[in-house]
Every structure is written in structure tokens, then in C-alpha cells.
């Protein structure tokens, strides 16, 4: 109960991370060794770290590398998924089971984490895959979880640190394509799916520009090695006059969401 209450401390804002970081780290490490916490308590400990420490690379690396965030999250999602009766219809559920509640809390925390995370880790690909599995398992009778999975993919695609190749390998792109092909898709989910692909197109353009800049740098380095200073100056003037091949026609997103 204490961890559940503490997990909402981010509402207070501007907490001193040093006050609780070491203690929460010890709690998480102890649970990883002895499994002494309930699933809700364990998720609450992670939520406290994520909502209060995310956005600072040092603390993010503590979360991901030192505390093994991806490994632990994947394990929790897999175990929780096994405890959910995916075939049980909503009308048959008087209230959600505690496993469903914790799953939703994990997905909300992941959305926040991937919205603000400031570095890429290859382990993220496997985590995308776990969320895709949840997405497909919930397709029949748990539309709320399915919707949260799509929100998670949209947040990840909108983060400039995330790699398009990682989203592709993890199955996120296929999952959103599956969702957008549903005839019963409501307007909010349509907008979420379209937003995902708009963010994806921006990531592709940025990666293309990064590759272009890397190619330019290699040309400059080669010229400098060979002492071709005059060529460097001419090449530099050429690049400054080059027209960019891509531009957005309108920043107003309404033009992208016309009825199909």
C-alpha cells in the first residue's frame, strides 16, 4: 500500500530524486532476488521511478541498465498475460481482475517512458514484441488493453530516439496495420493509428537526413586527408545551395484525417 501511494508522488512535482532513488533501487533488487512483493506493489515501485526520473539520461540508464527494466517488464507482462481470461466477454465481467488492472498500469507507464526516453537500447525491440502479443491476445474482448497498446506504439514512434527498424522488428508496424484494417474502429483509434504513421514518416525522413549528413561528413574527411582544401570549399558552397527534397504541405493535421 505504501508503494502504491508513493507511485503517485509525481503529482507533487519537482521531487528530489536522491531522497528515494537508493531506497527504491534496494526494494527492486531485493524483489528480483526474493520475489517478496505483489505484482501491484512491484509495478508501483517501477512507476515511481519512471514518472519522476524519466527525461534525465543518467537516471534512465540506471532504470534500463542497472535495474534491468526491459527484462523485468517483459517478464511481468508475460506472467500477467497468462493469468488473464482473454475469452471472457466484457458483459461477463462485473469488475476487472487485478491482473488486468496491473497490466493497464504497466502499459500506461510504458507510454510515459517511451514518450520521454532520451536514449535507444536494442532491448526495446523485444519489449515491442511483448506488447504486440498483448495486443493480439486482447483483440476479442479487451478493447481497452488493445487501445492502450496502440497508444504505446504511437508514443514510441513519436520519440525521435526510437528507431524505425526497431519498431518494424518488434512487430509494432504490423500491429497498427491490423488495427487500422478493423471495420469497427472508432474515430479516436483511427486518429491514433494515423498519428502513428505520421510520426513514422517523420522518423524515416530524419533517418534519411542523418544518413545524408553522414555521407557528407565522410566526403569532407576524405578530402581533408588528401589535402583538397579548394574542393572542400566548392563542395560546401554546393551543399548550401542544394534544395531539400521533402517538405510538409501543411502542419495542420486535419488535412490528414479526412474521411476515407
Does residue 246 fall inside a structural domain? yes
Banded model confidence at residue 254, pLDDT cuts 50, 70, 90: very low
- Best-predicted range by mean pLDDT among 19-23, 64-68, 139-143? 64-68
Q: Kindly state the cell numbers that stand for 161.
A: 530516439
Q: What is the pLDDT of residue 99?
A: 92
Does residue 167 fall inside a structural domain? no
Is the pLDDT reported for residue 140 higher than 60? yes
Q: Cα separation of 213 and 239, whole Å?
A: 11
Q: What is the pTM of this model?
A: 0.77
- 108 CB contacts (<8 Å, ≥6 apart)? 148
End-to-end CA distance of the chain: 48
Is the pLDDT reported for residue 164 higher than 70? yes
Does residue 226 fall inside a structural domain? yes
Banded model confidence at residue 182, pLDDT cuts 50, 70, 90: confident
3-state secondary structure string, 16-36?
A: CHHHHHHHHHHHHHHHHHHCC
Q: Kindly state the cell numbers that stand for 80.
A: 500477467
Q: Which domain holds residue 245?
A: 219-256
- Percent of the chain past pLDDT 90, that is, above it, reads 44
Banded model confidence at residue 6, pLDDT cuts 50, 70, 90: confident
Does residue 250 fall inside a structural domain? yes
Q: What is the pLDDT of residue 234?
A: 52
Q: Cα separation of 117 and 88, whole Å?
A: 35
pLDDT of 213-252, one tens digit each? 766 666 556 546 655 555 555 545 555 554 434 343 444 4
Does residue 63 fall inside a structural domain? no
Q: Cα separation of 182 and 137, whole Å?
A: 15
Q: What is the pLDDT of residue 101?
A: 93
Q: Tally the C-alpha atoms within 13 A of residue 251's C-alpha that lie toward its C-beta.
A: 0
Does residue 162 fall inside a structural domain? no
Looking at residue 152, the DSSP 8-state letter turns out to be: H
Mean pLDDT of the chain: 81
Q: What is the pLDDT of residue 226?
A: 59
Does residue 237 fall inside a structural domain? yes
Is the pLDDT reported for residue 168 higher than 50? yes
Q: What is the pLDDT of residue 246?
A: 39
Q: Tally the C-alpha atoms within 13 A of residue 227's C-alpha that lie toward its C-beta.
A: 0
Does residue 175 fall inside a structural domain? no
Q: Over range 71-96, report the average pLDDT.
A: 87
Q: How many domains does the chain have?
A: 1
Is the pLDDT reported for residue 19 higher than 70? no
Q: Over range 126-132, report the average pLDDT.
A: 97
Amino acid at each position: 500500500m505504501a508503494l502504491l501511494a508513493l507511485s503517485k508522488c509525481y503529482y507533487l512535482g519537482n521531487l528530489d530524486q536522491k531522497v528515494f532513488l537508493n531506497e527504491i533501487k534496494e526494494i527492486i533488487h531485493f524483489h528480483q532476488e526474493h520475489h517478496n512483493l505483489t505484482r501491484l506493489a512491484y509495478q508501483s515501485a517501477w512507476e515511481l521511478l519512471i514518472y519522476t526520473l524519466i527525461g534525465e539520461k543518467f537516471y534512465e540508464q540506471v532504470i534500463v541498465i542497472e535495474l534491468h527494466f526491459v527484462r523485468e517488464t517483459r517478464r511481468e507482462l508475460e506472467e500477467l498475460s497468462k493469468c488473464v481470461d482473454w475469452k471472457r466477454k466484457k458483459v461477463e465481467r462485473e469488475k476487472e481482475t487485478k491482473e488486468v488492472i496491473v497490466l493497464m498500469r504497466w502499459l500506461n507507464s510504458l507510454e510515459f517512458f517511451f514518450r520521454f526516453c532520451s536514449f535507444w537500447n536494442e532491448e526495446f525491440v523485444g519489449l515491442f514484441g511483448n506488447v504486440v502479443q498483448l495486443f493480439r491476445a486482447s483483440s476479442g474482448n479487451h478493447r481497452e488493453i488493445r487501445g492502450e497498446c496502440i497508444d504505446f506504439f504511437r508514443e514510441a514512434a513519436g520519440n525521435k530516439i526510437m528507431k524505425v527498424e526497431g519498431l518494424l522488428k518488434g512487430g509494432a508496424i504490423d500491429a497498427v496495420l491490423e488495427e487500422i484494417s478493423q471495420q469497427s474502429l472508432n474515430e479516436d483509434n483511427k486518429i491514433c493509428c494515423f498519428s502513428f504513421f505520421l510520426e513514422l514518416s517523420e522518423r524515416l525522413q530524419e533517418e534519411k537526413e542523418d544518413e545524408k549528413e553522414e555521407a557528407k561528413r565522410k566526403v569532407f574527411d576524405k578530402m581533408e586527408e588528401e589535402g583538397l582544401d579548394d574542393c572542400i570549399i566548392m563542395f560546401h558552397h554546393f551543399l548550401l545551395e542544394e534544395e531539400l527534397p521533402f517538405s510538409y504541405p501543411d502542419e495542420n493535421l486535419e488535412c490528414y484525417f479526412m474521411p476515407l
